[in-house]
Chain A
């Protein structure tokens, strides 16, 4: 029951075709798929264990579809998430607007969710600087303002992708470690059999 052993729920958000699925593909399967782009339908879930210090933490990653069609549904995907990776395409300024929208939505509805702002497709910029539409410092300023971490990644080359997810896992561990010292007992990270993951995160 792989899905039940998830420690932290992580949700990928952002405009369609910014590269959310590609990020997950790169991180989980270490590959970059070329070929015609396929929009994600609804959302896809994948569980990925990750080593943090001596611990293994399993991230439950929700790769959501960027299409507006699913916007009304999006709550079920980000509710109870410990981390949200809000993606925008470095070569598409409208996608940054959309990222702002998601940040606002998270701030309003999911205040305990840590935000990671991720500018994608950095390989395109390295090839041709004129393609950049979102200034690094503008994005950094925005990230500071909302208290978010900021990354620029490329799923094509793999640049910064592992670092991004590693940071997510480390931040999760340091906050849950904090909780552990308070309780003085080891935290049992495996939820009870009948409690779904949602509820376990909700109680935190």
Chain B
């Protein structure tokens, strides 16, 4: 068990940019749980699309981060001049009017939120709060920073405080400090992962280079000036963290689509290439239709989720074409990419994101989109794609296991997951969040930092749960409370067989590159 966890960590540590060469093509029709990584249902046939997202142990990449940060500081690049513009003295024109989340921070209601998130600078200046306004919380944040500093002065790092059914988690990512206060049963590690996401969200807007630069020049800079208008992105990301299995699993899900149609879409996109185009991503809502990347360049699932969040949070890309700088922090914290964001048709759910390295590339990207669209609309695959949008999800009944209510299945080597729609029992928002909470607990147990489990069965009053992780996949199943363990185990084999049968519709098996 320990060996398993270690292996995963090691492969993360040395293989951040490319997946191993172990993707095989022997695809059993009745896959067994003991199958080899790269042959599990949903595994890509040729190569993976993402940075090898084998485990979610992003935190173990800390050391490597440190190194990169050093590099950032020593090599601020040629944007120095632009950065100076940003730190220069200017009339402060920040008002709190834009905050719609006015809430009395001394009230019981404020205190009783399930999860608070605070971001502050190392000087103790408030940068973000999930609830209430930053102004009202400046003394609270001052205390938080004091705690961090006191422990640091002892050459130590504060990680968490546990008290009274409440956990306080600290993440220091110089020049930022992130603090989570949670009443949930999530582990420290899960909460830390969520704070990491928030950290990356902020970096994606500013780049780490810029952040460092700003605080080097002015320690007590009010970063809210630069983040103004982006709070809703962070709010939405926090909401997703509670709801979206993809963020939990470090994976993304695809729009179910016949592989022939998907391949045509992919090759049409491939045909619309351009010198500085690095990634092309076609989304249907929160689902991936296809993703193309420059050879040898891999997108990290965290970066992809940040893109999803950006696109999903904003309706302003609906009309016209968006052109925005975006830092993909897991790719490179130092610089901006430039994203061309547009919907294929005004009322369509299909959103195309073209990521270029060149800020002057707008009209090239615009032309790429036109070329793609012209090519695609001549083909029947476009109609197939539009039809697929009408049923973006499927019912668990298709699997044919009566006791099975819901599941999450992640193919580790592809970084893709599949999951049916919530059944009627979990139709309300609160029930869905409760189920997600249960999955999170299972996930915590499977990925426990010192005692990771590979198999976990839990009987509850309202449902029975089974979680199973192998080198090839991660599986979470939810059964009716009437089922038995034997039944649940038998269901796994049946489910794997079903996923294998459906895999070319549910996954992207042959991702293309430029």
Contact = CB atoms under 8 A, between A and B. Distances in A.
Contacts of A94: 91, 93
Contacts of B359: 73, 76
Interface in B393-444: none
Given A21-B316, A72-B86, A94-B91, A65 B229 contact: yes
Interface centre among B232, B320, B364 (most CB of A within 10 A): B320
A28 B91 contact: no
B315 interface: yes
A13 to B, nearest CB: 15
Contacts of A71: 85-86
A176 interface: no
A7 interface: no
Given A3-B366, A42-B325, A69 B227 contact: yes
A144 to B, nearest CB: 24
B12 interface: no
A67 B233 CA distance: 14
A40 interface: yes
A15 to B, nearest CB: 7
Interface of B: 79, 82-83, 85-86, 90-91, 93, 98, 100, 205-206, 225-230, 232, 310, 314-317, 319-326, 339, 359-360, 362-364, 366-367, 370
Given A15-B93, A70-B325, A45 B228 contact: no
Nearest to A24: B320
A39 B230 contact: yes
Interface centre among B90, B325, B360, B370 (most CB of A within 10 A): B325
Give the interface size bracket for A toward B: 35 or more
Contact of A45 (B93, B227, B320, B360): B320
Contacts of B230: 39, 67, 69
Nearest to A76: B359
12 contacts: A1-B367, A3-B366, A3-B370, A38-B316, A41-B310, A41-B317, A44-B320, A45-B320, A71-B86, A73-B359, A94-B91, A197-B363
Contact of B316 (A4, A17, A41, A76): A41
Contacts of B79: 72
Interface string A88-123: 000000100110000000000000000000000000
Contacts of A66: 229
Interface string A35-49: 011111111111000
B85 A46 contact: no
A99 to B, nearest CB: 12
A43 B314 CA distance: 12
B320 A41 contact: no
B235 to A, nearest CB: 11
Contacts of B366: 1-3, 45
Nearest to B336: A73
Given A38-B314, A45-B362, A68 B228 contact: yes
A3 B228 contact: no
A198 interface: yes
Nearest to A195: B363
B226 A3 contact: no
A42 B229 CA distance: 11
Given A21-B316, A45-B362, A69-B205, A39 B323 contact: no
A43 B322 contact: yes
A72 B83 contact: yes
Contacts of B90: 68
Given A1-B370, A16-B228, A29-B319, A69 B324 contact: no
Interface string A45-74: 110000000000000000101111111110
A63 B363 CA distance: 15
Contact of A46 (B205, B232, B321, B370): B321
A186 to B, nearest CB: 24
A142 to B, nearest CB: 17
A28 B363 CA distance: 20
A96 to B, nearest CB: 11
Given A15-B93, A29-B319, A68-B86, A41 B360 contact: no
